[in-house]
Every structure is written in structure tokens, then in C-alpha cells.
Structure 1
């Protein structure tokens, strides 16, 4: 399993991807379009 969370574009459930068994599908509704969740922390980089 991956550490990254995904959200289904259709039913909005949080989904964990299991690449070996089911491929890339929502485990709740079966939809194939998943959106990668962004971290809540903003990363700032100082320009030089």
C-alpha cells in the first residue's frame, strides 16, 4: 500500500490504493478518477 492518500472524484471518499489486487479504482463506488491529496503544510524556500 502507498503512504499517499487519494480522494475519489465522484463520491469524495478517501481511498488507499492497492495496486496488486484491484488496480486504480475507488473501493466505494468503483470510479477510476482519483485525486492526489495535497499536504496541509506549505513549504517555503528562501530564494538566493
Structure 2
């Protein structure tokens, strides 16, 4: 999964080692990257 650190804005990938922490600055708040896909809903 792709995440972005909310402090240093670097891309972070978590590899399941048990902790959620930015490996660059040590900050614990990571934001999940959203996909760029646009979904359309048909109107009835």
C-alpha cells in the first residue's frame, strides 16, 4: 500500500513490520494515497 507522510510529504510503503511510522522523519501520521480513477454514476 502506498502512503504519504503528513509531516515530510514523502511517499512511504508499509511492509508489515508491525509499526506505523515514517522511516524518514519518524512521524506517526500517514495519509493513504487515493487513486486517480474517476467513477461515474448513471442518472436515471
Task: Give the alignment partner of residue 7 of structure 1, picking from 4, 29, 32.
Answer: 4
Unaligned runs of 5+ in 1: none
Question: RMSD of aligned C-alpha atoms?
Answer: 1.4
Whether 2:16 is the aligned partner of 1:19: answer yes
User: CA offset at residue 46 of structure 1?
Assistant: 2.1
Q: How many residues align?
A: 44
Normalising by structure 1, what TM-score? 0.75
Structure with the higher strand share, 1 or 2: 2
